Each structure stands twice: as structure tokens, then as C-alpha cells.
Amino acid sequence: MLSKVIDQANIDHFAKWMARAEKIVIVSHISPDGDAIGSSLGLWHFLNAQGKTVHVIVPNAFPDFLKWMPGSKEILLYDRYRDFANRLIAEADVICCLDFNAIHRIDAMAPAVQSSPARKILIDHHLYPEDFCQIIISHPHISSTSELVFRLICRMGYFNDITKEGAECIYTGMMTDTGGFTYNSNNREIYFIISELLSKGIDKDAIYRKVFNTYSESRLRLMGHVLTQMKVYPEHRAALISLTVKEQKQFNYIRGDSEGFVNIPLSIKNIVLSCFLREDTEKPMIKISLRSVGSFPCNQLAAEFFNGGGHLNASGGELYGTMEEARQRFEQALEKYKPLLNEKDAK
């Protein structure tokens, strides 16, 4: 049995909306990851089965390793089909906002979503949700939005309506947001849910291979290159990797090729914080990804030094400037957080 994470009042409220809604739009964050796509498609499969007209819209493209997911071909990319997407958003009865806590995370879609008269529900697990939805289902201690979607469907009484395809999507989101159940994954109910998803006939081993073991040769060579250039700060128990636009060109970089790189330095003994700096190809900006082990709050560091945020162990931010400036800023952060980084319990 699962414990009741989502408030009953929110379940009842959403169920009431659903009974009346015909047109539903599901939106998720820019540069969608496995949980953004998994939770969106998980909910999409379910609502389709309820006979609703449902569309998933995301701001831009998602990585190739998610393209096997059932329903992924139906996902609308806002940067390609803006007019059509705007019409769907404006005419929706309900908009479901999945896997983001702040309206700016849906980038260029934000004005359309904000101005739509649709009722809006947030289903998310990031800290400090902004107040742009009438129903807010926000549970930062839950490791994925996909898990919340599963919990929501079950609590509404529709476990039997979850299909194998829907289960595959939910499983993918749960798996990717926990690094294949290697972090944020000590809640035993996760494994109860996996057991329930397996009862739908999913092949979890095949899903793992499809997501994690289908990389291109150039991605693997890029990984080798990035790791060769890695800088380690033993006194701060931290490591830094980076990727410039020039290197991206050199290795025929395509979106998603560096997904997961930031986790690799954490496999070094005693390293509790990893930082990945990626130079943006369009804006004069560095995208920062941070990962930590144990109690080190990398979201606090991201907020304080990189105008960002996220979870305790996985966070990110941005810096308008050069790679060198971003590196210096990271080193300043390391100095400030040195005592915390050296706390005994961290690894």
C-alpha cells in the first residue's frame, strides 16, 4: 500500500475538473528530460484513455534517447509549431503543468500559458513552487514528477486504466530522475510502485538499455575528452568539467550528448560535489549543472552563485559571461562552502 502523499482535497478538485474537461494541454519545462517527458506522456496516456483530447507541448526538442517512448511522436515542440500550440493552449479547458516550479521554466510558452483562461494544475517536485496554478500538487521530497503522476492516477481510482505504454513512460521518468535508482531513491514506496508498473508488463531492463546504453560514438568520445580536461579540487572535495562551443563543434555535439556527464565525477572517491559548465551556442551564457552526494545542498550554491536552484543533490543555474568567469565563480563558491563540503557525513 502506498501512503497518501497528495492531499485529498487536491485529488477531489482535479477529479471534478476532469469530469467536465474535454480539451487538455500538458506542458513541461525547456530542454525536457526523462522525467518531463515521462510524466507528461504518462498523464497523456491516461487522459487519452479517458476519452479526452490531450496534447503534450514542450518548449523545445528533447533528447533522442527518449524518442522510443510511446506517444513521443505526438509531442508538440513549441519552437516549431508556435501558432498551433498557442491555439491549443488558449482553447484548453485544463492545462497541466508538469515537472517545473516557476513559469519561466517553460520559456517562450509562458505568456500563452499565463494568459489562457484554462484552469491550471501544477504537478511537480521542485522546491518553492510559484503561484500560477489553482491546484498545486508540489512534493519536493518525492524523487520524480512521474511518481506523482502515478500516485495521482491511483488515488483517483484508475490504476486499472494505466496501460503498459503509460507505465513505460512513468517508469522512465522515475528511473532518469534518480540516475537509475542510484540517488534520491531510498523511499521504499518507489519499489512498490515499480512492482505495480511491472505488473503492467513493462520491461525495466530494456528501458534502462534504451535510455542509458544507446549513445553515439561521438558522445562517448566527447565524454572521454571532457573527463581528460576535468579539474579536481581535493581540498574542497569537488570536481569541475566543462564544454565550450568550440569543443561541441569538434565532437559533432547534438542536444543531449552531455546528458549525465555531471554525475561522472561523483564516482571519484571523496568527491561530493560535481559541476558541469556548458557554453550556450546561442546566448553569451554558461549553463551550470551541479550534483552532490549526501547532505551538501547544491541548490543553495546554485541559487547563491548562479541565479538558479533545484534539488538538494541536483541543481542548476546560468551565468551570463565567459567560461573563465563561470569557472572563477565556481571557485569562489567552493571557498565559501569549503567547511560544508568537508563535513564528515557527506560521503
Q: Report in angstroms how near the CB of residue 90 gets to ligand 5GP at its nearest.
A: 27
With CB under 5 to 8 Å by kind, the binding choice for 314 among ligand 5GP, Mn ion, none is: ligand 5GP
Piece in contact with ligand 5GP (CB under 6 A), picked from 40-48, 109-117, 312-320, 339-347: 312-320
For position 258 contacting ligand 5GP by CB under 6 A, the verdict is no
For position 147 contacting Mn ion by CB under 5 A, the verdict is no
Q: Looking at residue 321, what DSSP letter applies?
A: S
Distance CA(89)–CA(109), nearest Å, equals: 9
CA distances from 185 to 126, 202, 288, 298 (A): 16, 20, 24, 18
Distance CA(223)–CA(66), nearest Å, equals: 20
Question: What is the Cα gyration radius of the chain?
Answer: 20
Piece in contact with ligand 5GP (CB under 6 A), picked from 72-80, 149-157, 165-173, 304-312: 304-312
Alpha helices in 164-278 (DSSP H): 164-176, 188-198, 204-212, 217-228, 245-250
| Single residue of 308, 329, 333, 337 touching ligand 5GP by CB under 6 A | 308
For position 260 contacting ligand 5GP by CB under 6 A, the verdict is no
Q: Which residue has the cell 571557498?
A: 335
Which string of x and - marks every residue 91-130 that binds ligand 5GP (by CB under 6 A)?
-----------------------------------x----
Piece in contact with ligand 5GP (CB under 6 A), picked from 84-92, 190-198, 305-313, 323-331: 305-313
For residue 284, how many C-alpha atoms fall within 13 Å in the half-sphere facing its CB? 5
Q: Of all residues in the chain, what percent are helix, strand and coil, respectively (each to 5)?
A: 45, 20, 35
| Single residue of 17, 21, 35, 183 touching Mn ion by CB under 5 A | 35
Restricting to residues 71-100, which ones interact with Mn ion according to CB under 5 A?
99
**Conformation bin of residue 180: beta by default, left when phi > 0, alpha when psi is -120 to 50:** left
Is 23 or 327 the residue whose CB approaches ligand 5GP more closely? 327
Q: Which residues bind Mn ion (CB under 5 A)?
A: 35, 99, 145, 177
